[in-house]
Structure formats: structure tokens, C-alpha cells
């Protein structure tokens, strides 16, 4: 199984951001732990602060036949119609992940532009959200 783990703006700064909101793990630590925990999955990892680069990576994943996408869009999840449209047009299923509970934060974070075109959303469970998303996708593939 091939899974793209896609991360949006400011996630490259995780270990330097508010640990009470985002946890203490760096993106590199999360990436390493995913690879160690799921040895049977072929992961691809990509992070960008640029919206267009994220759109391009979703298109590339689709064309390359990636099986699924775990996507933490960061703040773009609340604002990006371009990312919503990119997810809607590709065939791999996408799970939206947020480290913090977006519904317990500022009002502008309560709405996700991409949630309606994702198969699910995990919010507020810190780095474990990535692991839960991968576990779900792994089981769903086994049941298919």
C-alpha cells in the first residue's frame, strides 16, 4: 500500500510552535515513527508552505497511483477552495488530519473547506491522528 502523507503551511515548524496546541513532536519525528510503526506501507512524505505546491502534489499522487492520502492542510484547510477542488478531482481517498481540536479554537477554524470531499477527518488527537488515519486506511484496504 502506498500512502502520501501531505503537510501544509507551518507544519515544518512543529517543534518550535506552541506545544500546548501542537504537541512537542517535530514533523521529522512523526514521519520517522510512521515508517517504524507501519513497515508494510510505502510512505511518501511532502510538506509545503505553498498552496500551489500542495495542489501539484495531490495531482502527482493521483497520476502515480498512490492508494490514499493523509493530509494535514494546516490553515489552508479553512480557506483553500483550490485544495478542495484538487481533492475532489483525484481518485485516492483523503483523510484530513489536524493536530489540534479545530472546533475548540477560534471561530474561523471551525469550518473546513476540504472536509466535504475527504472520507473523514481526525482533529484534536495530536500526532496520533496521523497513526489513526493510516490504521483506518490500512484496514479499509484489507477489507476491500
Tens-level pLDDT at each residue, the chain (144 residues): 999 999 999 899 886 666 666 567 899 999 999 999 999 999 999 999 999 999 999 999 999 999 999 999 998 998 899 999 999 999 999 999 999 888 666 676 667 999 999 999 999 999 999 999 999 999 999 998
What pTM does this model have? Answer: 0.92
Per DSSP, 112 falls in state -
**Known active-site residue 130:** no
Q: Provide the sign of the torsion angle of the four alpha carbons 107, 109, 114, 116, taken in this order.
A: negative
**Known active-site residue 103:** no
Per DSSP, 47 falls in state E
Closest CA to 99 of 37, 4, 2, 27: 27
> What's the pLDDT at 54?
98
Catalytic residue among 22, 62, 78, 103: 22
Catalytic residue among 98, 103, 111, 136: 98
> What's the pLDDT at 13?
85
What lies within 8 Å, CB to CB, of 91 at 6+ separation is: 62
The three cell numbers locating residue 75: 490553515
- Note the CATH architecture for domain 2-143: 3-Layer(aba) Sandwich (3.40)
Amino acid at each position: 500500500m502506498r500512502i502520501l502523507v501531505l503537510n501544509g503551511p507551518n507544519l515544518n515548524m512543529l517543534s518550535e510552535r506552541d506545544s500546548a496546541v501542537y504537541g512537542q513532536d517535530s514533523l521529522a519525528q512523526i514521519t520517522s515513527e510512521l515508517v517504524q510503526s507501519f513497515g508494510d506501507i510505502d510512505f511518501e512524505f511532502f510538506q509545503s508552505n505553498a498552496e500551489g505546491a500542495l495542489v501539484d502534489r495531490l495531482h502527482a499522487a493521483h497520476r502515480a497511483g498512490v492508494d490514499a492520502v493523509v493530509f494535514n492542510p494546516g490553515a489552508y484547510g479553512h480557506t483553500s477552495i483550490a485544495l478542495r477542488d484538487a481533492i475532489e478531482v483525484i481518485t485516492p481517498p483523503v483523510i484530513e488530519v489536524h493536530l489540534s481540536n479545530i472546533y475548540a479554537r477560534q471561530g474561523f477554524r471551525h469550518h473546513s473547506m476540504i472536509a466535504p470531499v475527504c472520507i473523514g477527518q481526525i482533529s484534536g488527537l495530536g500526532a496520533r491522528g496521523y497513526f489513526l488515519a493510516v490504521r483506518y486506511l490500512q484496514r479499509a484496504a484489507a477489507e476491500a
